[in-house]
Amino acid sequence: MTDLLAARPQPDPATARSASPASQASLTLIGAGLAGALLAALLAQRGRRVTVFERRPDPRVVGYAGGRSINLALAERGRHALAEAGLNERVMRHAVMMRGRMVHFEDGRTQLQRYGRDDSEVIWSIHRGRLNLDLLDAAEAAGARIHFDQRLDEVDFEQRRMKLVDESSGARRELAFDHLLGADGAGSALRATMARRVDLGERFEPLGHGYKELEIPPAAEGDWRIEPHALHIWPRGGYMCIALPNSERTFTVTVFLPQDGPHPSFATLPDRAAVHSLFAERFADALPHIPELLDDWFANPLGQLGTLRLARWHLDDRAVLLGDAAHAMVPFHGQGMNCAFEDCVALADRLEAEADAGVAFAAFEADRRPNAEAIQAMALENYVEMRDRVDDADFLLQRALERLLAERHPGRFVPRYGMVTFRRTPYAVAFERGRIQREILANATAGCTSLDEVDLAAVDAAVLGRLDPLEE
């Protein structure tokens, strides 16, 4: 563990900005996962005194033990936040481009459904562990002090003192703080201590579906086994598999299934024979590519999924929550981290602009909470779309009309996926415009089987009448 009493490294003069005189109070971050490490880097680069406490050991010493998905889809919001911290190039060195969804139908056919217009509108698969290491290095290089093996246990908000447990020795101690920033993930300990003091209006909605991770290794000659530049989906109605590429020429496969209930659910797959027959029957083209299927299935944990909603994210100037601690979501839009990174920039900007941390926290929450709620709703909708609709004729016709309207009305009819993924349109705006656009698409294609049957003049009039040009 880093020596708590060691002199604080000086901010890197190349990246440090001068802090305003009113912002000299120290900032204590809980959690050095994706959001905590990026926020620490951004704040330290802006000249703030930043101390971070992370429950896990230093992954640069003991290796990364993530516990969540092995790789993630990085999109424009995340890239923008990384660029703010000077990290975009470093992270992108290991990123694998994904041009669209490669849909694997049950009969073995595959179809690439592009996400955007061309290769300027793509998403990127990145390795969570490697990204976390890059972020930790950047935070320390900018002057943040990170203490590992330190779990936040309890907070005395009256006295502004927190209790920490050293996870390696079990030792407990108390430390003073000025302001606490909670980036300690979906099971946030800071949130639990805040909730003992004020009603956060907390609601957790379990999805009822869980996930397991598996691996497609490289082929014998070392090459990719399936198309590398795509996010693969095996949609099967009430459940699905996906696979994202890694730069090592492997793929991480994630199986999403109901936790209980009729076959197939995790509850109906108690043994190797049951798992093998599910793959043989429903994911036949994937099965030969997952040689360790059965061992990995029983060795890897069953991950839980759900949506965390809070009516309140901050406690005056004493504590604020961000990232999954404030708004954990289901992973089906690939936006949890991207949204958390957008939070980091928003919070760093507010803390730079406002002398009073309480004002900054309130403004941050007012700006971000409606947007987090919008992406949570879109992520839930996307699960149904991915597992159930990407192979359905109505959906494909609507997608074709959507592309046509995007060409006919650039900057006005922008597909919702694009607003969320390729732009930084506020999520709440994307959600509302997306609702109107879906109505236009559904009305225009009702009863049609091909684009030729669509009344384009009427659709154009609906677009011009109902959608203003999109402001960036």
Ligand X SMILES: Cc1cc2nc3c(=O)[nH]c(=O)nc-3n(C[C@H](O)[C@H](O)[C@H](O)COP(=O)(O)OP(=O)(O)OC[C@H]3O[C@@H](n4cnc5c(N)ncnc54)[C@H](O)[C@@H]3O)c2cc1C
- Contact mark string toward ligand X, 386..415, x via CB under 6 A: ------------------------------
Per CB under 6 A, 231 contacts ligand X: no
Per CB under 6 A, 183 contacts ligand X: yes
Per CB under 6 A, 323 contacts ligand X: yes
> Is there a contact between 262 and 238 (Cβ–Cβ < 8 Å)?
no
| Sheet of strand 240-245: strand arrangement | 110-114, 100-104, 231-235, 240-245, 251-258, 203-216, 303-309
* Interface segment toward ligand X; rule CB under 6 A; list 17-25, 104-112, 330-338, 367-375: 330-338
**Looking at beta carbons only, is 341 or 413 nearer to ligand X?**
341
Report the distance separating Cα 71 and Cα 244, nearest Å: 7
Please count the helices (runs of H) and the strands (runs of E) in the chain.
15, 19
Q: Is 188 helix (H, G, I), strand (E, B) or coil?
A: coil
Q: Is 118 helix (H, G, I), strand (E, B) or coil?
A: coil
Report the distance separating Cα 198 and Cα 195, nearest Å: 5
Give the DSSP letter string of 395-445: HHHHHHHHHHHHHHSTTTS--HHHHHHTS---HHHHHHHHHHHHHHHHHHH
**Looking at beta carbons only, is 39 or 454 nearer to ligand X?**
39
**Looking at beta carbons only, is 58 or 394 nearer to ligand X?**
58
> Is there a contact between 362 and 407 (Cβ–Cβ < 8 Å)?
no
- Minimum distance, C-beta of residue 361 to ligand X, in the bound complex (Å): 16
**Looking at beta carbons only, is 331 or 415 nearer to ligand X?**
331
Q: Residue 374: what residue type?
A: A
H-helix or E-strand containing 197? Answer: helix 189-197
Q: Is 256 helix (H, G, I), strand (E, B) or coil?
A: strand
- Minimum distance, C-beta of residue 372 to ligand X, in the bound complex (Å): 11
Q: How far is CA 199 from CA 192, 195, 264, 382, 457, in A?
A: 10, 6, 39, 31, 52
- Minimum distance, C-beta of residue 201 to ligand X, in the bound complex (Å): 19
* Near ligand X in 30-69, by CB under 6 A: 30-36, 53-56, 68-69
Per CB under 6 A, 307 contacts ligand X: no
Q: Which of 42, 43, 155, 189 binds ligand X (CB under 6 A)?
A: 189
Q: Which of 29, 40, 41, 72 binds ligand X (CB under 6 A)?
A: 72
* Interface segment toward ligand X; rule CB under 6 A; list 222-230, 327-335, 383-391, 430-438: 327-335
Across 6-142, the runs of DSSP E, i.e. the strands, are: 27-30, 50-53, 71-74, 96-98, 100-104, 110-114, 123-127
- Minimum distance, C-beta of residue 107 to ligand X, in the bound complex (Å): 28
- Minimum distance, C-beta of residue 334 to ligand X, in the bound complex (Å): 3
* Near ligand X in 79-138, by CB under 6 A: none
Length of the chain: 472
- Minimum distance, C-beta of residue 108 to ligand X, in the bound complex (Å): 26
Per CB under 6 A, 163 contacts ligand X: no
Q: Which of 76, 149, 324, 365 binds ligand X (CB under 6 A)?
A: 324
* Near ligand X in 252-271, by CB under 6 A: 254
- Residues found near ligand X in the complex (CB under 6 A): 30-36, 53-56, 68-69, 72-73, 151-152, 183-185, 189, 211, 254, 303, 323-325, 331, 334-338, 340
